[in-house]
Chain A
Amino acid sequence: LERSTSSFSYSSYHTLEEIYSWIDSFVTEHADLVSKIQIGHSFENRPILVLKFSTGGSERQAIWIDTGIHSREWITHATGIWIAKQIVSDHGKDYILTSLLNTMDIFLEIVSNPDGFAFTHSMNRLWRKNKSNQPGIACIGVDLNRNWRSGFGGNGSKDNPCSETYHGPYPHSEPEVSAIANFITAHGNIKALISIHSYSQMLMYPYGHSLEPISNQEELYNLAKRAVQALYEVHGIKYLYGSISTTLYVASGITVDWAYDSGIKYSFSFELRDTGRYGFLLPATQIIPTAQETWMAIRTILKHTLRHPY
């Protein structure tokens, strides 16, 4: 295991054990800014960890970022790790990030689906769901991005447990989902939520479950447009943007719909790079470029959130 963040390779993919070990080292090395919170356990009893970036204070507003809810999307975990490092290194240098951390906290969940992620390393690299099972049902796993309360069970999710988009038996049935939902609800002051997926090169906002525009459609559209432009300026990668249902597909019970319906106005979902050649098997050489451009888009959302309090 890599025992310090200086020897950690940010341009490679890592196992769950390596990532959790890195988290411990990272927190130790940056204890003035970063702490580790355990928000729950996975179905197979693995800890669900969140990094908290904070300069102090209580009951602050905050940003939530999660990666890896679909376990086979390895580029998202790798991007999350790089972003954590970037937050630490930019703090005190980048005026936007510094201003934000002066008044708000950032919560970063790097492995939202630890059981699924461990399974991608041990048994099936292309596993998408979590690992929960129900008595009498042969197929394993729930699509954690169909298990949220908003629009649960609607179009774009399946009630067949063998489907890759199985929504689960009831909303928030999965411990990985309820851990996030309970944490965000208890916090009560999350102002932006960014959920990171791959791969379609898109930045999207609610709704997924409905074609109806949200009440903040215009603001979120313009913000997505600016974020995508910031991303493009890093390496010339073009992203589509818009609502999930009109840009990608109708999908029900998804994270960002729940977040928006829970009062988090700035709720976005990324689909990271698509080279048209590798799908979920994006070569590790593309981790850092992907993370760099993604960070600039996130920074645009953070800046807007900071300057448009609600």
Chain B
Amino acid sequence: QMNFTGDQVLRILAQNEMQLSLLRDLEGLKPQKVDFWRGPARPSLPVDMRVPFSELKDVKDYLESHGLAYSVMIEDIQVLLDQEREAMAKSRR
């Protein structure tokens, strides 16, 4: 299984169309590095993206440099995946 240790999901609340456009640019800059769980659609909807640990600093710098406010929705994806696998194994037992 692919390991997602340290990968995070960031939730961004874009204020306007310009900020959404910056997020779309990010998708273009790192098409295989940033995985949009909820893509940039409109300012009223949050944008969620999974960022690999290796890209976290770059991506957070990009967001901060453009004034894009974000929160960490999932701190470490692998922790949740481990819990999920354990729950499945427990259910089987």
Q: Which residues from chain A sit less than 8 Å from chain B, CB to CB?
A: 9, 11-14, 122-126, 139, 160, 162-164, 199-200, 248-249, 276-281, 283-284
Contact = CB atoms under 8 A, between A and B. Distances in A.
Interface string B1-30: 110100001010000000000000000000
B69 interface: no
Contacts of B9: 279
Contacts, number: 63
A278 B79 CA distance: 11
Given A126-B4, A199-B37, 14 more contacts: A9-B91, A13-B88, A122-B1, A125-B1, A125-B2, A125-B81, A162-B32, A163-B31, A164-B35, A276-B73, A278-B80, A279-B73, A281-B77, A283-B84
Interface of B: 1-2, 4, 9, 11, 31-32, 35-39, 41-42, 45, 48, 50, 73-74, 77, 80-81, 83-84, 87-88, 91
Contacts of B77: 126, 281
Contacts of B48: 279
Given A13-B88, A279-B48, A281-B80, A248 B73 contact: no
B61 to A, nearest CB: 23
A209 B73 CA distance: 29
B1 A12 contact: no
Contacts of B39: 249
Nearest to B41: A249
Contact of A123 (B1, B31, B45, B50): B1
26 contacts: A12-B87, A12-B91, A13-B84, A13-B87, A13-B88, A122-B1, A123-B1, A124-B1, A124-B2, A125-B84, A162-B31, A162-B32, A164-B36, A199-B37, A200-B38, A248-B45, A249-B42, A277-B74, A278-B74, A279-B9, A279-B74, A281-B74, A281-B77, A281-B81, A281-B84, A283-B83
Contacts of A11: 91
